[in-house]
Amino acid sequence: MGLAIGVDIGGTKVAAGVVDDSGAIIDRERRDTPGSNVQANEDVLVDVVETLAARHDITAVGIGAAGWIGNDHATVLFSPHLAWRDEPLRKSLTGRIGAPLIIENDANAAAWAEYRFGVAQGEAVVVCVTLGTGIGGGLVAGGEVYRGAFGIACEYGHMTLVPDGYLCACGNRGCWEMYASGRALARDARELAAESPMAAGRMIELAGSAELITGPIVTAAAAAGDPAARSICTNMGRWLGRGLANLAAVIDPSVFVIGGGVSAAGDLLIGPARDEFAHSLTGRGFRTEARVAGAALGPEAGLVGAADLARMLT
């Protein structure tokens, strides 16, 4: 079927790769996300695609974007962490990218990749939760990506978990992603550093200052055994598990796939999530409990899925 380029653009990074029809990434590029400027976002997308296309014979391009994507696979209706508002992205890029092009929600793309090539192969109902700057969500049921009536289904990160909780970029308060995401890890660590610099000392040392602590710094410190960082990851894992239990009550999936950059914390995060999920699951003890698994394709699932969907849909 030929090679396709997949691009995953999120709140902080643009990851791109050339993907073959087995799901293998044979070449990669990465850039920072401009974020606050529409033209700059488009320019960086064109840059990574042109760079990779110059080295390979490409048949299609799939862009997985963090935001609400219309069922036309062309329009970014809204992106909380990027500059797009009702943006006709495919139209804007078509004249600049010389290959068939689709736009897809990044978490939908990740869910599809895990269903096709990863930990969810052969599963009946797959819920993918991607933990990055925020939380993305995807659903594959009956061998198809479920997008909803208007293309914006499965925005799990914006279900209210804590009434009147932290203010979210979407405009509401208490969204799940404010408690179980890279942003949440960094916020909790910085709050700890403000209260007790000694307790957060290892994370401050790795970051250079309390203000520069990020989610990856927290997970790195936790992996190295830092007690404060491990406690923050455990707390986030519990919030993750509570959200999964809510989703199970509505969707009843056979597997939850946990992906995105924050999932690199592994069992430091997923272990507490499994425990809290089992504890919070409605009807526990009288139903089959969905498997909770880390994504086999890791943070690259989004670009793999975007490329594979582009091959299929163009």
The candidate with the shortest Cα–Cα distance to 226, out of 274, 193, 275, is 193
The residues, any chain, with a CB within 8 Å of residue 167's CB and separated by 6 or more, are: 173, 178
pLDDT by residue (tens digit) across 104-148? 998 999 999 999 999 999 999 999 998 988 898 999 999 999 999
**Length of the chain, in residues:** 314
Residue 262 binned pLDDT confidence (cut-offs 50, 70, 90) = confident
Mapped onto helix, strand or coil, the DSSP state of residue 149 is: coil
Strands 101-105 and 58-65, by their bridges, are parallel
Distance CA 152, CA 62 (A): 18
Domains of the chain plus CATH, in order, are 3-112+300-313 (3.30.420.40), 123-295 (3.30.420.40)
The 8-class DSSP code of residue 175 comes to B
The candidate with the shortest Cα–Cα distance to 162, out of 242, 46, 59, 75, is 242
Distance CA 253, CA 175 (A): 22
pLDDT by residue (tens digit) across 292-301? 999 999 888 9
What's the mean pLDDT in 64-79? 90
Strands 144-145 and 85-87, by their bridges, are unpaired
